[in-house]
Amino acid sequence: MTDEFSDTAETPETASDEFAVASWTESFEPEDRDLIDVKGWRSPVDMLHSYRHLEQLVGSDTVRIPGAEADAEEVAGFWSKLGRPDAPDGYDIPTPPDMAAYSEDMASWFRDAAHECHMPLEMARRFHDKYVEKFIHETQALDTELAGERQRSDAELRYAWGDSYDRNKVLADRALRALGGDRLIEELRLSRLDSSAALAQAFAQIGERLYAEDGFLDADSGPGFGHSPGLARQEIQRLRADSAFMTVYGDRRHPEHEAAQQRMDQLYAVAREGS
């Protein structure tokens, strides 16, 4: 009997601990007291130490994710804490230097899109830099591709036309300008058809029918200009209105300057015959 009693009897210390816990938790909800039992907190000091340890791990400057019922102000505050500017103009993103295709309209669009997508400032800057880097790379690749297409087209025309290359180029150019003008030339450039050898040959044939018989282009004189002073003067006026040609013609260091100079000299020589 004595042994059985001693096994189940509470010591004064145990009874005191249970009384202490009960005394400071008696006003808590049952589920709160269950949590205290699970955590093993024996006093408010234990709870305070536990919270302090948790705050050291998580940090005091926490950001609460808005719930489904959160209002617009709470949601905006959440994104603001993550670093999103209050308005699109808060994105201080520098314009990339030496990038002609980049416009202020593009920069404004990016700021609006970044704000709409709730991008923090630093994220938007990094994404913008990556976008510009990709844009420049793709533009350079396209320029290289177009240059290759033009070189291949030119080589094909030189092979097909032989000694009549210069003459046919003049015929094709005149026919193109006569039939479509600058608008057609721009359309062909934008659609990348300006490097088409087949199209150049077609316009050369059209030019042959339009101009070869009027004496302006002599079949035996290659890129000569026959004996029509009036047509020569018209060609001079057309070339002077061509900014690309005049750039070459006025730059003695340009590799095509000599050919442009010779062309104008021939035209002026023919034009003076009618004076």
What pLDDT sits at residue 59? 59
What pLDDT sits at residue 22? 60
Instruction: Give the chain's domain count.
Output: 2
3-state DSSP call for residue 22? helix
Give the tokens for residue 221.
């004189």
pLDDT tops 70 at residue 9: no
What pLDDT sits at residue 162? 87
Inside any domain, residue 112: no
Inside any domain, residue 117: no
Tell me the pLDDT band of 227, cut-offs 50, 70 and 90.
Answer: very low
3-state DSSP call for residue 10? coil
Inside any domain, residue 143: no
pLDDT tens digits along 18-48: 545 567 888 888 888 888 888 888 888 888 8
What pLDDT sits at residue 226? 46
Tell me the pLDDT band of 222, cut-offs 50, 70 and 90.
Answer: very low
Inside any domain, residue 119: no
Domain range for 241: 225-275
What pLDDT sits at residue 5? 45
- Count H helices and E strands in the chain, helices first: 13, 0
What pLDDT sits at residue 218? 44
Range in 50-54, 167-171, 262-266 the model is least confident about: 50-54
What pLDDT sits at residue 221? 40
Rounded to an integer, the average pLDDT of 116-127 is 88
pLDDT tens digits along 151-196: 898 899 888 888 888 888 888 888 888 888 888 888 888 888 888 8
Inside any domain, residue 260: yes
Cα distance between residue 257 and residue 261, in whole Å: 6
What pLDDT sits at residue 13? 52
Inside any domain, residue 210: no
Inside any domain, residue 263: yes
Inside any domain, residue 147: no
Contact between 171 and 208 (Cβ < 8 Å): yes
Domain boundary among 58, 76, 103: 58
